[in-house]
Amino acid sequence: MNEHASHDTIRAVQWHGDHLALLDQRLLPFEERWFNCTTADEVTDAIRVLAVRGAPAIGIAAAWGVVLAAKAGIPLEPVLVTLRAARPTAVNLMWALDRMRARIAEEADAAALEREAQAIQDEDLAANRRMGELGAALIEPGSHVLTHCNTGSLATAGYGTALGVIRAAVEAGRVSQVYAGETRPWLQGARLTMWELVRDGIPAKLVADSAASHLMKHGQVKWVIVGADRIAANGDTANKIGTYQLAIAARHHGVKFMVVAPSTTVDMATETGEDIEIELREATELLSVAGTRTVIEGADAWNPVFDVTPAALIDAIVTERGVILRPDETQMRALFG
Ligand code: MRU
């Protein structure tokens, strides 16, 4: 048992040599069913429908999709293009596919591509462990924290980004209470983060997204800790819709705001958050809860699923390469080139 095992029990992306097994995140917390992919197209579908989700996890899954195609002897360029188009915002997807493309350009065979995908997965887990240590060190003992969306083992190779920091901080006695926002409309916080926290025995309370400002005023919250889908060269950060309003509320209440993401989420080719494509998903996701329509027939909805938090509202960006306090382009360039 490793040092982190007591607060880290889930591996949602599993390679089995001839297929990729994904713990289907549409069905949690009530059903633990595996979505088995034997083709790259099935991996693309799994990413599109959010059977696998979270920036690092979709990059890892896509890399395994390329391996499935290579093993089947399918031309790889169209596969790379299809996988890349599965979702637009999380740059980890493009990063992982670019890394696989570079190996393909060197005429790597299926076995070499398999090793590359495994390396991508293993490196993500190692990065999460490191970020856990670095992020936890910023938190005063006994703190209450608020997180948003799901950034845990389900969203990564394991352990998690923001949730990895929370796991490490709980172990170190630095976090005594976690609040998780529901994360409407897809309920990543309610369905997935609470599932991880409860399974790992971490003291956690669910809050409605709309309770966040009231909680910051009264709940002794010292940090808001979130993940990221893409961090631009100036530190602007795209993450799950609702993150931006948390950052505004945190600044208003003197609560610190931490972004935790591996370097694979940093996109130095994107200058500012203005240049990040924000995924719009179907209105139906917002017009119903768990498949039951909650809004009058005929109503329409606007459903952007990410937003951009300006760097000026971020107190710390934690990556496996180090911590940037009050991020700006100069510090980003110093760490990421
Ligand atoms: O739409 P999702 O569930 O894929 O969005 C996920 C998030 O926004 C996470 O906060 C982000 O990917 C970081 S996961 C470590």
The C-alpha atoms of residue 235 and residue 314 are separated, in whole angstroms, by 8
Q: Is the peptide bond preceding residue 29 cis, with omega within 30 degrees of 0? A: yes
CATH 3.40.50.10470 domain locations along the chain:
129-336
Give the SS3 label for residue 165: helix
Q: Which helix (DSSP H) or strand (DSSP E) does residue 324 occupy?
A: strand 322-325
Instruction: Judge whether residue 3 has pLDDT over 60.
Output: no
CATH fold, domain 5-127, is Four Helix Bundle (Hemerythrin (Met), subunit A) (1.20.120)
Query: What's the CATH architecture for 129-336?
Result: 3-Layer(aba) Sandwich (3.40)
Q: Tell me, what's the pLDDT at 6?
A: 57
* In the chain, % of residues over pLDDT 90: 96
Query: pLDDT tens digit string along 303-333?
Result: 999 999 999 999 999 999 999 999 999 999 9
Q: Is 171:210 a contact under the CB 8 Å cutoff?
A: no
Q: Is the CB of 237 under 6 A from ligand 1?
A: no
Average pLDDT of span 272-296: 96
Confidence grade of residue 5 (pLDDT, cut at 50, 70, 90): low
Task: Confirm or reject: Cβ of 93 under 6 Å from ligand 1.
Answer: no
Q: What is the pLDDT of residue 2?
A: 45
Confidence band of 290 (pLDDT split at 50, 70, 90): confident
pTM higher than 0.95, yes or no? yes
Residue 20's DSSP bridge partners are 15, 37
Mean pLDDT of the chain: 96
Instruction: Quickly tell me which residue has 């999709």 as its tokens.
Output: 65
Of 14, 265, 40, nearest in space to 121 by CA: 14
Within the chain, all domains assigned CATH 1.20.120.420 are found at 5-127
Kind plus residue range of the DSSP H or E element containing 135:
helix 110-136
pLDDT band, residue 284 (cuts 50/70/90)? very high
229 is catalytic: yes
Active-site option among 8, 124, 229, 307 = 229
